[in-house]
Amino acid sequence: MSELKQTRAAVVKNPNGLHARPADLLVKLAMKFSSNIVIVKGFERVDAKSILGILTLAATEGTELSIEAEGADATAAVDALAELVSSTFGEE
């Protein structure tokens, strides 16, 4: 099986940033995919399946993130995660 590598950019739109609840949602969504997924903020790279990693990004509203995935379902993974990050995670 060929490995696909995909990247999508997303801006955090949640007014409260990526705090614990949105980070949990992001990790749970990432866990649905078999691909290796990394979230990048500047020079920081964290495993999208690690809530601790996501929280260490301290991503606030307006933060630009890059979502990188490599694996058989990479395209679906980056699309789904970019859409979630670009939402308000159900918070207003």
Which candidate in 4, 17, 19, 50 is catalytic?
A: 19
Rounded to whole angstroms, what are the CA distances from 5 to 33, 38, 58, 71?
A: 13, 11, 25, 7
Nearest alpha carbon to residue 51 among 14, 91, 21, 15: 21
**30 flagged as catalytic:** no
As annotated, the active-site residues are 19
